[in-house]
Structure 1
């Protein structure tokens, strides 16, 4: 019942739009800082994460450290580009309300990766807010391009079904 209300209610759609705009702004500014700053290199972040894999209670789990060391770190140049542009594109998608669920999914993927790598910062808060966007279905994008496109697609579909019904009756 609560999920249905979140997915269909007008008040939740407004609140979700505010959350979506906040998340979009956060991701957009993070991406722009990395792109325009010109000094971002993911290998430093990765090395720092690897340094947190030791001890009796490591901040970064050894299996994640193994993954970073053997798959991600050798391809740090590629992941530097993916992080910069991924953050920017997720921010644009969330701000515009375009491909909202897809943008939220990739935001969640990046945030969880950052958390697994031992970085907390605002990531737990962003993960929680992103979950609301994801479980809301199309309601989070209702006040954005997703809502506009959805209305146009529904209008076109109803016109086509009306035309088909008219042709069958003739």
Structure 2
């Protein structure tokens, strides 16, 4: 029942617009700050590793292995991906362009932060983003998705010429 409302109701799309704007602003400003002021993920990653120790670690062993084996050796990649990912997710949510994809990538980043032992506003953002992701196209009804998605669907339906 709630899924149907999220996906089809005009009132849900208005409410989701407000949620999108809030989430988008949060992501956009966070990413913009990292882009303009510089960002180095190595401190965050080393902090996550420190949370993997002790009797009740906040970071699971498999995530610790990922950080040690992939993230830290490729920290320059993460120094690029995190700020630009945050900025682009925020932009996508604000303008309502590829809203579902922006929500998905926002969830990926939020879960990465949570898995690294950082709580902050991430649980709240995950919860709100789930509503946007479940709503799909309706979450971007009042945005650029209203124009872009129907054109993409039409383009995908056209038969290919020989």
TM-score (norm 1): 0.87
8 Å CA contact 2:99–2:136 kept in 1: the answer is no
Alignment of 1:89-108 (within 5 A): 89-108=88-107
Question: Which position in structure 2 is the counterpart of 1:16?
Answer: 16
TM-score (norm 2): 0.91
CA separation in 1, counterparts of 2:128 and 2:32?
Answer: 21
CA separation in 2, counterparts of 1:75 and 1:153?
Answer: 35
Question: Which position in structure 2 is the counterpart of 1:123?
Answer: 122
CA separation in 2, counterparts of 1:70 and 1:150?
Answer: 39
Distance 1:103 1:153, change over 3 A: closer
CA separation in 1, counterparts of 2:66 and 2:36?
Answer: 29
Note the residue ranges of structure 2 that are not aligned, 5 or more in a row: none
CA separation in 2, counterparts of 1:31 and 1:153?
Answer: 28
CA separation in 2, counterparts of 1:130 and 1:77?
Answer: 28
Distance 1:153 1:50, change over 3 A: closer
Note the residue ranges of structure 1 that are not aligned, 5 or more in a row: 161-170
Count of residue correspondences: 156
Question: Which position in structure 2 is the counterpart of 1:6?
Answer: 6
CA separation in 1, counterparts of 2:99 and 2:133?
Answer: 8
- Write out the 4+ residue segments of structure 1 that deviate beyond 2 Å after TM superposition: 148-154
Greater Rg over alpha carbons, structure: 1
